[in-house]
Structure 1
Amino acid sequence: MQEAVPPASDGDHLDPRVFIPAVLVILAFIGPVILFPEASTALINAAFAFATGKFGWLYLVAGLSVVGFLIWLAFSRYGNVRLGGAEDTPDFSYFSWVAMIFTCGMGIAIVNWAWVEPIYYYTSPAYHVAAKSREAAEWALAFGQFHWGLTPWAFYCLPGLPIAYSMYVKKRDGVRLSVASRGVLGRHADGAWGVLLDSIVVFGIVGGVGTSLGLAVPLVSQLVSGILGVEANFGLEVAVLCIWTAMFSASVWFGLAKGIKILSDINVILAIFLLAFTFIVGDSQFMVEGFVNSLGKTLGNFIPMSLWTDPAGDSTFWKDWTVFYWAWWIAYAPMVGLFVARISRGRTIRELIIAELVFGSLGTWVFFAVWGGYALDLQISGALDIKALLDSGGIPLAVEGILQTLPYAKLVTVAFILLCFIFLATTLDSSAYVLASVTSRKLSGYQEPKRSFRLIWAFLIAAVGVALIQLGGLQTVQTSTIVVALPMIPVMLILALSMLRWLKNDFPKEELNPVLVIDDMPAFQRKSKKAKRQA
């Protein structure tokens, strides 16, 4: 569907108030990491330990609260509110829309962790369960579903709602969290507080991309070195990153409909093919029964799992895994929320919540049921000691070992490498697109950011990646991004309150209409458009 093209506006120009502080913050952080890596790492690790150690409970409470709030909102009368006017219709098919949401939200991380995360839980389980026991195996798949299911997608969904409402219902210019917070911040959203908020968001996005690069580049380099028989060194990692840069730069250049959408569609189709192949050649019965059993354990224990802090015990499982993941998802949430808001014009609030909480969760659960179930079966049966591979060579070596157990291993590995390329490219092009939108001046929801801005951010992301890969600073950036998640918790609260205030003011009366819209179009224009449709 072709998007409406608005007249040129300030959205065509870079906003130095956000761009310059954001870039300075990034350089101010990257510089010390490069010049003083050991001291920077120690400082950031201390900040991370403080954030997760002292406020770990806050991350847990925030996660359960967001899930509860979104479920209430979806089933309330506000769920019928359309994110747009009476004439606004969705820009993308439902499949393409969900595909873009999923690939932006999970990206390369699911490709890494779905294989190996259950192995960690099986060998170092929660709840003081005996390692490598039957009960540990059951909880291994359940915690995979829990850490990648409802709560992560709720964190992603929450920012997208007020941003989309601000753009398509309130018709406010500016694809930013500061604009979406106007319902609470008022005029302060346009001042220093708004600039600070948007600059932190930009830093968080760049840090999140650093996390993705830290996961993806070593994995793909390891797989490529095995296929080509060459050494996995810095030169190979830079070559891999250059290919990624070319892919996502081309995608972001062509924009949403011709670039990101097509790449996301291909991504989902290829993932379905590889999942189906693994399901057919592996122990399908074990995967299905493991999925059903873990789904029951996850849903039946969702609240206890969400709030478990082991106050009387000495387990660090909840901090090492649940708090870490909740912080990770919160750090990524502004980027995903901004992107999802941009592609959700014409959808209702209920549609958006269902797309993320239901279909997003189902997507990740399938990955863990098939790839996680396949790997866990290898570990339990003794066919492959994945834990030993993880201890000796980390995730890249473990994933390579698992792929080697599949029929047509080389062909499957090539297909998997391609999937990794496309998965990360969809995350990177979404990130560059959002960064260009945030740093554009008064960009409306009906405009795309200028191509030159998109490419600037694409190349900045690549440059940061090369510098950090060379100096081994990716882990430090990842950890710092998690620290940024702590002040984002009150920001999430502001966004929720802003959304509620707008909804109560705009829809004060109980209405039974299946779709609620604010139609501020003059009556003669409505009649004219209706006559044209009838003609």
Structure 2
Amino acid sequence: MDRTIFLGGILTVVLVSLPLALFSEAASAVLGKLLAAITANFSWLYLLTGAGAFFFMVCLAFSRYGNIRLGRAEDEPEFSKFNWIAMLFCAGIGISIVNWAFVEPLYFLNSPPLGHVANSADGAEWAAMYPMFHWGFVPWALYLMPSIPIAYALFVRQENVVRLSHACRGVLGRSVDGNLGRFIDMIVIFSIMGGVGTSLGLSVPLVSRLVSEMTGLTVTFGLQMGILAVWTLLFGWSVWRGLGSGIKILSDINVGLAVLLLLFVLVVGPTVYILNLWTNSFGLFMDNFFRINFWTDPIEGGSFPRDWTVFYWAWWIAYTPMMGLFVARISRGRTIRELILNGVGWGSLGCWAFFAIWGGYALHLELNDIIPASEILAAEGTPATVVAILKTLPGGWLVLPVFTALCFVFLATTLDSSAYMVASICSKDLSGYEEPVRWLRVVWALAIAFVGVGLLSVGGLEAVQLSTIIVALPMIPVLVIVTLSFLRWVKRDFGSEIAARELVLPHPPGHQSRFRTDAVPAGDAAAAAAAPAAAASPARPVMPPQALPAHG
């Protein structure tokens, strides 16, 4: 264990979280002003970062860099494709999508973007579409920005430390081994703890309301602590068992429950309406992709871009350290192209399914006056609105407990991944082929629960939410540094192979046309004799460990 990182991380969490919890009103006021100043002056930066991440991922996936395999010659993927995608999705989204899938379209219906009229047919179409933007290509591209450099450092260059700071070595050099590297890692720990603490603060009230609805119990602090205790046992067990026996199993259960509930609502709800609405939303999204990605509303000065898009982009950026570390750790043996296409593709499709089905169903209830969902949302908040919508489904006596179980498992898959990665950051000489010691994983699982208890007991949720978003601003230059570090490493490690502009088929079959190439010079018989086996399959460049430089 690296005592400096461990103790520094614990101290950072305590020194920041405790004042926010004990003086939540004053802290919220200060942080609210700071957040308003940041979003007012740096909205353009957040939007350009998001769009830049997406376009960089597209270019990287379809370039020759996409062929690079994240591992040694003998490395095969550690997890099946289904398990890998399930773990990636569940860690990246968590219970947040359960909170927002039903209610975000309702918010947009009452305050639509780009000057559309509230509660109109046009406004309803935009309300159904906009979550596809906030939970689609850009967020998942942001998640992968640090994932690829970290995976490259772990599995190609064989770094023996699972830390974001060491993925910066290509630019920062040996300084990542000193105080600068430790400072970066402490920011990462705070960002992770603040993010998951906020998730706990959002989730416990929702599940408390669900339990109250099913059992008749009054929502009290004691009930919330009981729910938090069950959650802690669940993700504590998962993180104790590790990646293969705990986190993977919970992720599989999570995906199974989510698909079951999504299909149920699609089948028993207004199926054709939901499918038509999603198809329309996808077309509207593609038509306006560039417009909404760069919309800051500079003339009228409306708050929608700042309150929603900039806030979301900052939120995703704040989560990039945890996701970068976790996705990198589970992606050994995959190619960069495979990681990008599956991460952005399946991640976006998974999120869109929630908003298309659950969000479409909520809009159907509201627009057809089946229940006053918007009024409930304004008067009683998200938990009451979710419960009211679920109660409109047939078989509510079964839907509520299954939905509650989904909430438990969804959050647990995020929390166990977070505790696992913070334990990895605090470990010394931990390669991408090893797991952190169990006691360290459990310590950080309990630390997450402690943050949750503090937030729920003194109501400091808003302050921690704001502080986590503010942390996203210094994370932007860190993302730039890890990206430049990755590009410098790749150019150094694979320069001659990636620089080749033409490929050659050394022994064309039969009388088929020959393709000119500079990969095997004409007349070089020795090279031609050595090449057939490599040419028989697509190139998958792998950096031999013995050829790696000792330092960046």
TM range (shorter): over 0.9
CA contact (8 A) 1:214 1:475 kept: no
Say if 2:494 is the partner of 1:507.
yes
The 5-angstrom pairing of residues 424-443 of structure 1 reads 424-443=411-430
Structure 1 partner of 2:20: 33
Pairwise mapping of residues 84-483 of structure 1 onto structure 2 (< 5 A)?
Answer: 84-483=71-470
SS in structure 1 at match of 2:402: helix
For 1:21, which of 5, 8, 12 is the aligned residue? 8
The separation in 1 between residues aligned to 2:416 and 2:408, in whole angstroms, is 12
CA apart distance, 1:414: 0.3
Match of 1:484 in 2: 471
Looking at structure 1, the residues matched to 128 and 492 of structure 2 have their Cα atoms a distance apart, in angstroms, of 44
Q: Distance in 1 between matches of 2:402 and 2:412?
A: 15
Alpha-carbon shift at residue 314 of structure 1 (Å): 3.2
The residue type equivalent to 1:518 in the other structure is: M
Structure whose CA Rg is larger: 2
RMSD: 1.0
Q: Deviations over 1:476-516 (max 9, x none)?
A: 11111000000101111111111111111111123654311
Read off the aligned partner of 1:305 and give its amino acid letter. I
Range moving further from structure 2, 464-473 or 21-30: 21-30
Distance 2:539 2:362 in 1: 45
Provide the C-alpha distance between the structure 2 equivalents of 1:454 and 1:53, rounded to a whole number of angstroms.
39
d(CA) in 2 for partners of 1:503 and 1:142? 38
Specify the code of the residue in structure 1 equivalent to 2:315: W
Match of 1:54 in 2: 41
1:156, 1:337 within 8 Å by CA — same for their partners in 2?
Answer: yes
Distance 1:488 1:60 in 2: 14
2:515 aligned partner: none
Cα drift, residue 16 of structure 1: 1.5
Q: Which residue does 1:529 correspond to in 2?
A: none
How many Å separate the matches in 1 of 2:53 and 2:406?
Answer: 31
TM-score by length of 2: 0.91
Cα shift readout 1:198-240 (whole Å, capped 9, x = no counterpart): 0000000000001211221000000100100010111111111
Runs of 4+ aligned structure 1 residues displaced above 6 Å come to: none
Answer with 122-131 or 291-300: which moved more.
Answer: 291-300
* Fraction of identical pairs, as percent: 53
Match of 1:519 among 544, 549, 552: 544
CA contact (8 A) 2:158 2:545 kept: no
Worse overlay, 25-34 or 438-447? 25-34
User: Aligned partners of 2:283, 2:494: CA distance in 1, in Å?
Assistant: 38
Q: Which residue of 2 aligns with 1:497?
A: 484
AA matched with 2:67:
N
| 8 Å CA contact retained: 2:70, 2:152 | yes
Equivalent residue number for residue 526 of structure 2: none
Deviation at 1:521, TM superposition (A): 5.9
Deviations 1:24-78 (A, max 9, x none): 1111112212332221111111221121111111100100000000100000000
| CA-to-aligned-CA distance 1:293-325 (integer Å, 9 cap, x gap) | 111111221111011011111311100000000
CA deviation map 1:435-489 (0-9, x unaligned)? 1001111211111000000000000110111111000012211111000000101
Which runs of no fewer than 5 residues in structure 2 stay unpaired?
504-537, 548-552
CA–CA distance in 2 between the matches of 1:441 and 1:419?
A: 35
In 2, Cα distance between equivalents of 1:268 and 1:404: 23
Moved more, 47-56 or 240-249: 47-56
Q: Distance in 1 between matches of 2:243 and 2:181?
A: 27
Q: Is the contact made by 2:22 and 2:460 (CA closer than 8 Å) also made in structure 1?
A: no
Query: C-alpha distance in 2, partners of 1:394/1:62?
Result: 32
TM-score normalized by structure 1? 0.94
Count the aligned residue pairs. Answer: 509
- Given that residues 128 and 315 in structure 1 are in contact (C-alpha distance below 8 angstroms), is that contact kept between their aligned partners in structure 2? no
Offset at residue 275 of structure 1 (A): 0.2
Deviates more, 1:61-70 or 1:474-483: 474-483
Question: Unaligned stretches of 5+ in structure 1?
Answer: 1-13, 523-535
Q: Which amino acid aligns with 1:499?
A: F
Alignment-mate amino acid for residue 357 of structure 1: V
